[in-house]
Amino acid sequence: MKTKLLIVTLIAFAIIACNKGQFTSKPQLSFKSINSLTFSQGQVLNFQINFTDAEGDIQDTMWIQKVSKTCPSSPGTNFAVKYKVPDFPTTKNLSGYFDINFAYNTTSTGYVSITGCGTINDSSYFRFVLKDKANNVSDTLVSPVITLLK
C-alpha cells in the first residue's frame, strides 16, 4: 500500500512540475495549425499560433519573416513584417492563439500578399517572434517548410 501511495505522489509531483513552466514572463509561441503545406496562386495561408504569457502583456509587436530556400535573392521572395498586437485587457497566465493570414500572389483578399519564385516552385518557411510590453521577447518559432506552386 505504501508503494502505491508513493507512486501516486510521484506522479502528482511530476504533473505539477510539468505544468509549472507553462506560463513564463517571456512569451511562449507554438504552432496550433497550418491550413496546408502546399499552396497554389490565389490561396490564403493561415497560421494559427498558440501563445502563453505569465503577465498577459503581449500587446506589443509580432515580427514575421518569410524566407525562401529556393530563390533567396529574388526580389520580393523574402520579406519581414512587423505587426502591432492590439490592446486588450491583460490577465495573469494568459493563453490563446493568433490567426495570421497571407495571400499567395494576390491582393484581392485583403491580406498581406506574398510571392514565390515565379518560374519555379518555391520552398519557404516563416519565422515568428513576439515581444510583450515589458520588452520580453519570445524564442523564434519556425514554421515547417511550405511549397508555393508556380
User: Could you report the per-residue pLDDT of 62-104, keeping only the tens digit for each?
Assistant: 999 999 999 888 777 778 889 888 887 888 999 999 999 999 9
The band of 32, judged by pLDDT with boundaries at 50, 70 and 90, is very high
What local confidence, expressed as pLDDT, does residue 90 receive?
A: 84
Query: Is residue 34 assigned to a domain?
Result: yes
CATH number for the domain including 120? 2.60.40.2550
Burial of 3 (0-12, 13-18, 19+ CB in 10 A): exposed
Helix (H) or strand (E) holding 16: helix 2-20
Range of the domain at 105: 23-148
Compute the mean pLDDT over every residue in the chain, rounded to the nearest whole number: 85
Give domain status of residue 44, yes or no.
yes
Residue 10 domain flag: no
User: Does the residue 135 lie in any domain?
Assistant: yes
For residue 17, tell me if it sits in a domain.
no
8 Å CB contact between 58 and 28: no
Tell me the pLDDT band of 7, cut-offs 50, 70 and 90.
low
CA distance 114 to 136: 29
Q: What 3-state DSSP class applies to 117?
A: coil
Phi, psi at 23, each rounded to 5°: -110, 120
Q: How far apart are CA 87 and CA 115, in angstroms?
A: 30
Q: What one-character-per-residue DSSP string does 83-98 give?
A: EEPPP----TTEEEEE
pLDDT at residue 18 greater than cutoff 90: no
* 3-state SS assignment for residue 11: helix
Q: Does 97 reside within a domain? A: yes
Residue 117 has pLDDT above 60, yes or no: yes
Amino acid 132: pLDDT: 92
In a domain, 119, yes or no: yes
Is 63 a member of any domain?
Answer: yes
pTM exceeds 0.85:
no
Number of domains observed in the structure of the chain? 1
Tens of pLDDT, residues 125-144: 999 999 999 999 999 999 99
